[in-house]
Amino acid sequence: MKELLKRTLPFWDDLTKREQDALAQRVVESTYEKGTILHYGGRECAGVQIIKSGQARVYVTSPGGGEITLFRLVDEDVSILSAACMMKGLDIELDMELEQDSAICTIPKGVYREISEQNAKVKDYTLEMISEKFSDIMWLFNQYVFSNVASRLADTILEHRSLAGSDTLKITHDALARDIGTAREVVTRLLKQFQTDGLVKLTRGHIEVLDAAKLGKV
DSSP string, 90-103: ----EEEEESS-EE
Q: Is 130 left (phi over 0), alpha (psi -120 to 50) or beta?
A: alpha
DSSP 44: B
Report the DSSP pairing between strands 102-107 and 67-73: unpaired
| Cα–Cα distance for residue pair 79/148, rounded to 1 Å | 29
What confidence score (pLDDT) does residue 148 get? 87
Q: How many whole angstroms separate alpha carbon 89 and alpha carbon 203?
A: 48
Q: Per-residue pLDDT for 178 more than 80?
A: yes
Q: Write down the pLDDT at residue 7.
A: 96
Percentage of the chain with pLDDT > 90? 61
When pLDDT is averaged across residues 41-61 and rounded to a whole number, the result is 85
- Averaged pLDDT, 200-206: 93
- In the structure, what pLDDT confidence band is assigned to residue 88 with cuts at 50, 70 and 90? low
Long-range Cβ contacts of 156-165 (<8 Å, 24+ apart) = 156/69, 156/180, 157/200, 157/207, 157/209, 157/215, 158/209, 158/212, 158/215, 158/216, 159/72, 161/209, 161/212, 163/55, 163/72, 163/74
Task: Give the residue among 58, 81, 61 at the shortest CA–CA distance from 70.
Answer: 58
Work out the pLDDT band at 85, boundaries 50, 70, 90.
Answer: low
3-state SS string for 160-200: HHHHHCCCEEECCHHHHHHHHCCCHHHHHHHHHHHHHCCCE
pLDDT value at residue 67: 85
Strands 56-61 and 94-98: antiparallel
Q: Of 183 and 89, which is predicted with more confidence?
A: 183
- Tell me the average pLDDT across 85-112: 83
218 touches 207 (CB < 8 A): no
Given a contact cutoff of 8 angstroms between Cβ atoms, the answer to whether 169 and 157 are in contact is yes
CB contact at 8 A, 56 and 99? yes
- pLDDT tens-digit readout, 127-172: 888 888 888 888 888 777 767 899 999 999 999 999 999 999 999 9
Q: How high is the mean pLDDT of the chain?
A: 89
